[in-house]
Amino acid sequence: MPAFEYVVLDASGKQKKGVLEGDSPRQIRQQLKEKGLVPLSVDAASQKQQEKGQSLFQSHAISAADLALITRQVATLLQAGLPVEEALKGVAKQTEKPKITTMILAVRSKVVEGHTLAQALSEYPAAFPDLYRATVDAGERSGHLGLVMEQLSDYTEARYQTKKKVQSAMIYPIILVIFSILIVVGMLTFVVPKIVSILETSGQELPLLTRIMIGGSDFLQLWWWAVIVVIGLLVFGWRKLMQSESNRYAFHKMVLRLPMIGKMNRGFNAARVVSTLAILSRSGVPLVEALRIAGEVAGNLVIREAVSNGAVKLQEGASLFASLDQTGYFPPMMMQMIASGERSGELDDMLQRAAANQDRELEDLINTIVSLFEPIMLVVMGGVVLLIVLSIMMPVISMNSSIG
């Protein structure tokens, strides 16, 4: 039964939007009239999206939290023995977001028409990435969709929790940096000029540090708008520059060479690739295809290309260890666990353990950096304030010496 999006007028004259399932637009209009609503428009969900020229979720991508919740709900209902279309209908009723309801019902309509779940999900590539659809397809082909969806829900929830931890860890440093900059700018703009104006009336030559501070203060007062414009132009130029894949590749290559950031970037991408490879392999996807798809989830273009080359070597007959080890971007401990898994025949479990181990190491590294960032910022902030105080006190001390 297809899904229809509608726009109606309620009794108070306000417009409302929603989604209903029915055999035809006429049936939907009749249902709305029976509820005392005045239908303004009723369109099939898929037709309306085609008129917009793009999928609903290509312009409004689903969040990681919503994806994890939907996956867990579908997996639970499938494990309870419900057919796919009934599970999707149940999830659509549970969600409180109209856009997600529309998407789920549109997917259900495709399934009812005879398409597989993976084919129906492909209508929304921004909401359900290649990894997700490939895993679902593997579950359908193996006849164990419920079990595979359970594994996929564990994966999406773990990815969401990891992302949430990284974001939470970065909140405090970002706030500290912003407030530090605001404090310094405020002192240079409002405090320093009032104090220095008194010193300038003395007629004596001011120290170099004081003159530099006065120059910076005058610049901020006169050209603050220019600073904002320049920052805006730099951000715009950077975004335009990063639209080129060659420029992004060069930038990602440079990031990997940075002392601390490069290690974090390698660790994060290695964990994503290996954990993706683990869930695809356990879901029955052939190892070569699984490695190719896993490489696509890497955010760093250099690592993505290296994994893609590794998939070619794997197809040519090399082992997974040799295919990944030649990239040079995977930690030694992870590679040893993969080699051990290949020798023992427990590759799937070792891949999962290697990814979990890398996630823990990455979390420890982030916590260490954040814990070091606070005292470093306090020292830097204290140093800047000290320079401002010295620029003010040095002329005062000089005046006292002259008077003495």
- The verdict on 303 and 315 lying in the same domain is yes
203, 304: one domain: yes
Q: Are residues 237 and 140 in the same domain?
A: no
Question: Domain of 372?
Answer: 159-404
Question: Of 116, 141, 157, which marks where a domain is finished?
Answer: 157
The closest alpha carbon to 337, from 274, 262, 256, belongs to 274
Beta bridge partners of 15: 9
Local structure of residue 10 (DSSP, 8 states): -
* SS3 state at 404: coil
Per-residue pLDDT of the chain (404 residues; tens, 9 = 90+): 566 777 777 777 777 777 766 667 777 778 777 777 777 777 776 545 444 444 433 444 788 888 888 989 998 998 888 888 888 888 888 887 878 888 888 888 888 888 889 888 888 888 888 778 877 887 787 677 887 788 788 878 877 877 777 777 778 777 877 887 787 777 777 777 777 666 666 666 777 877 787 787 778 778 888 888 999 999 999 989 988 888 989 999 999 888 888 888 888 888 878 887 887 787 777 888 888 888 877 878 899 899 989 999 999 888 889 888 888 888 888 889 989 988 888 888 888 888 888 878 877 877 787 778 778 877 887 888 788 778 777 777 776 666 55
Pick the last residue of a domain from 118, 133, 157: 157
Q: To 5 degrees, how large is the angle CA 202–CA 208–CA 210? A: 55
Query: Residue 240 maps to which CATH number?
Result: 1.20.81.30
- Which of 120, 139, 157 is the last residue in one of the domains? 157
Can you tell me whether residue 42 is helix, strand or coil?
Answer: strand
**Pair 47, 97 in one domain:** no
Q: Indicate the residue type of 102.
A: T
Number of domains in the chain: 3
Whether 289 and 403 share a structural domain:
yes
Q: Please check whether residues 142 and 165 belong to one and the same domain.
A: no
- Asked whether residue 252 falls in the same domain as residue 366, the answer is yes
Which two structure tokens, joined as six digits, stand for 349? 């479990």
Q: How far apart are the first and last CA of the chain?
A: 96
> Does residue 294 share a domain with residue 263?
yes
| 127 shares its domain with 7 | no
Check residue 243 and give its pLDDT. Answer: 86
CA 18 to each of CA 33, 43, 68, 226, 384: distance values in angstroms, whole numbers, following the listed order: 14, 11, 23, 47, 56
Token pair listed for 88: 């999707």
Residues 117 and 166 in one domain: no
- Residue-level pLDDT at 22: 67
Indicate whether 81 and 180 sit together in one domain. no
Asked if residues 277 and 291 have their Cβ atoms less than 8 Å apart, the reply is yes
Are 92 and 188 part of one and the same domain? no
